[in-house]
A and B are shown apart, each in its own frame.
Chain A
Amino acid sequence: MLLDYPAWLRIDHWLNVLFLTLLLRSGFEILSTHPKLYWHADSAPGTEWARFTRKVMPTNKLYDTLDEEEDYHPLIALPGHRELGMGRHWHFAAVIGWILLGTTYYILLFATGQWHRYWPYSWSIFTEAWNDIVTYACFNLPPLLPGEPLDAIQKLTYAAVIFVLAPFQILTGAAQSPAIEARFPRYVRLFGGRQAARSLHFLGLLAFVVFIVIHLAMVFFWGWGRLTALMIFGSVRNAYWATGLSLLIIAAIVAVHIAATLWSQRSPSSVRRVLGALISLPRKGLLRRLDSRQNYPVRMLSTEHRVNGKPPTAEFYKVMAVHNFVDWRLRVGGLVEQPMTLDLAGLRALAEPQTQRVLHNCVQGWTSVGEWTGLPLGTLVDLVQPLPQARYICFMSMQDNSTDEPSAEGGGQFYEILDLKLAHKPQMLLAYVMNGQPLPIKHGAPLRLRAETQVGFKMAKWINQIEFVDDYAHIGKGRGGWREDNVYYGMDGEI
């Protein structure tokens, strides 16, 4: 088997550079939203093992995870400057491209027999690899393996990156999808839990960065012109042309990065539309069908469930709260046969309460385990009887981001829209009790949504109105939710 440089291998290599660098930069953007890493699923404040922020949170006032967000420079993050929505779109779009590319690479590697360029022929490779390290430590270049394009330590490293590190990143990434976690809680526990998966994903990022640095150094010391000729032409010829072309390719990749950054900064709604269309294919096609089956044991409940979003500062809310929400009313209407207005007692009386102990996944990356009790959303939907043209449920909150949340990225009343088809999924709940007590003010009193296959931002808090609509283009800025309007998140929250 001649282990040479066929065209598909070369093309895949350069495409891989593009996708990997997009993943790295967008990954940093996602990290900046909650720049702390934990091992335990509670993400309890102060227990992080790594922190990438100087911010210190107040102790005398409620703070939320929006206050903890960091602002990274576009050199490191895509697009930078606290744009999680954009970062997520780029990350998931690049994931799709990278997985497709990787799949073609694997298939071609094995179909053509080229897999032996990475997979060792015998155990002796480990001794040879050690000899190579000693040779490098003597500032010398070790010999290539006979008839192969690599030396032993390079071969082992590539095998580790291609067959271990890359799949590892995909698996730990998938373990952070609320839909996957809700349906397969044991899969997440394989990695030590949701936060462990996130931390391991970060360590994988570091491993890729270290690999890239060493890889570039190796190419430099072994002969940039010669090796780029192999990776562009497939044979060692025209080294100067190869050097020039390699720099051109790198410049093109940099140009794509710059374009992506500028496009995101100047027209985030079109990025959301274009990339969102691509991402919604696997999101709706694969992830939407997953149902939540979570039942965490009581001992795993977080002592301090994290908070995102601050309660309404409106006077009427505070007066309602001090009277234990006796005067609160939930108006349910829109495209329904039986609109209704309910107080808390009436809502509770509609059905036997359902309790669930679940992992809450904030879009920022932190998690907590909580117990929620309330009315199954499907029960309310059945009671009000949506008209045939009703397609979405709009949950409206008493929170006004113009006054209530200084760390918010915009103003106006908070709302979120859910596809009506999700309403009867298991563990879709209108919760009025948390951990056995009336839903706390900081967690959305008196009523919040629980949608366990979705990321947390969909789960509106401080709800006082539920409207059934046929289209959401005329609500807010028309993107399907407050965060969608202001941070350009995709409307679907399965990942």
Chain B
Amino acid sequence: MTSIAFNLPRTVTLAADAALLGLAGLHAYMLVAAVHRPGYLVVYCGVMIIGCVVAVGATWIDVDDIVPAAGWVAGAILCMAFMIGYPISRMVSLPGLSALTGRWDLAPGNLALACAVAFLGLYLTVLFGVNVAFGQRRGWYD
């Protein structure tokens, strides 16, 4: 049992979903604001945006123990993929996006990193029992 615990399933799930939607929104912004839009970028952003939105939706479907948890897992996979992929994309030269090579001072990218870290942080707190997600119950009665 953890020495810090919260019983805020809706608040935690809302916050995590906000982080995922932030991640999706920033990818949408990238798509819209990009001067060059190579095909793979469109596909990648599309996958991220749709994936995040679906994950968000799943976290609110409290039908059993599996569906909302699957939403969290999907979100975690997307965030981890971004957290690994984005730094790599800064180090290699992306075809069709040569202007961005080696640049870390990209506000959308850093803000998206912050969103991914926030989501993963919240997910870890749920996994460790510090928080409960929507659909889970605290068995507190003293």
Contact = CB atoms under 8 A, between A and B. Distances in A.
Report whether chain A binds chain B: yes
Nearest to A58: B142
Given A49-B6, A138-B110, A139-B110, A56 B104 contact: no
- Tell which of A53, A137, A139 has the most Cβ of chain B within 10 Å: A137
Interface of B: 1-8, 104-107, 110-111, 114, 140-142
A140 B3 contact: no
Interface string A22-61: 0000000000000000000000011111111110110100
Contacts of A45: 140-142
A134 B3 contact: no
B110 A50 contact: no
Interface string A208-245: 00000000000000000000000000000000000000
Contact of A52 (B4, B8, B105): B4
B123 to A, nearest CB: 19
A53 B111 CA distance: 34
Contact of A49 (B1, B8, B104, B111): B8
Contacts of A140: 105
Contacts of B105: 138-140
Contact of A50 (B1, B5, B114, B141): B5
A63 interface: yes
B127 to A, nearest CB: 18
A56 B4 contact: no
Nearest to A137: B107
Contacts of A50: 4-8
Interface in A129-184: 134-135, 137-140
- Tell which of A50, A138, A139, A140 has the most Cβ of chain B within 10 Å: A138
A325 to B, nearest CB: 29
11 contacts: A45-B140, A46-B141, A49-B7, A50-B6, A51-B5, A51-B7, A51-B140, A54-B2, A59-B142, A138-B107, A139-B110
A134 B105 CA distance: 10
Interface of A: 45-54, 56-57, 59, 63, 68, 134-135, 137-140
A53 B3 contact: yes
A137 B107 CA distance: 5
Nearest to B107: A137
Given A50-B6, A51-B7, 10 more contacts: A46-B140, A46-B141, A49-B7, A50-B5, A52-B5, A56-B1, A68-B142, A138-B105, A138-B107, A138-B110
A403 B21 CA distance: 58
A138 B103 CA distance: 10
A303 to B, nearest CB: 13
- Tell which of B114, B141, B142 has the most Cβ of chain A within 10 Å: B142
Nearest to A134: B107
Contacts of B107: 134-135, 137-138
B140 A137 contact: no
Given A49-B6, A50-B6, A138-B105, A57 B142 contact: yes
